[in-house]
Amino acid sequence: MYAASAEITFRTGHCLHLKPNAPEQPHQHRWRARAVVQTQTLDRNDLVMDFQLLAHLLRQAARPLTRVKMINELPPFARRNPSAERIAQYIFDRLAPLLPSTVKLKKVIVWETPHAAAAYQP
């Protein structure tokens, strides 16, 4: 099995509701997202897929997150916390159908800070 990955960064905010009636303060992060794709066989150029194309598709999948001041404003996060785990799943679900049929999306990892990350892998 071969694998490749690409990363993007974006800045936006969120606010988690960790206690009933006591949300944390809204705050911004410089998020980092990595998509990992895999395949059994390399393409005619001996690649899993082009890194630039993967990064472009990852940016496209994450674009709605970057167009709001707070991720909480997006409908998928109206009833669930915009945690790094849920953001990874959101990106995964949007990215998977954009990929070439020759690769499979293995996982998406999202860093909230340089030292704190969560991943989604079905």
Which residues are CB-contacts of 66 (< 8 A; sequence separation ≥ 6)?
10, 11, 12
Place of tokens 């897929």: 49
Compute the Cα dihedral for 117, 55, 120, 93 and give only its sign.
positive
98 lies in some domain: yes
pLDDT tens for each residue of 97-121: 999 999 999 999 999 999 999 999 9
Range from 10-24, 36-50, 59-73, 92-106 carrying the lowest mean pLDDT: 10-24
Q: What is residue 27's three-state secondary structure?
A: strand
Cα–Cα distance between 28 and 97 in angstroms, integer?
A: 29
pLDDT mean across residues, the chain: 95
Q: Is the pLDDT assigned to residue 20 strictly greater than 90?
A: no
24 lies in some domain: no
Cα–Cα distance between 54 and 48 in angstroms, integer?
A: 10
22 lies in some domain: no
Domains in the chain: how many in total? 1
15 lies in some domain: no
Residue 100: which CATH number? 3.30.479.10
Q: Which domain holds residue 95?
A: 2-10+29-120
Q: Is the pLDDT assigned to residue 46 strictly greater than 90?
A: yes
pLDDT tens for each residue of 48-78: 999 999 999 999 999 999 999 999 999 999 8
Average pLDDT for residues 13-40, to the nearest whole number? 89
100 lies in some domain: yes
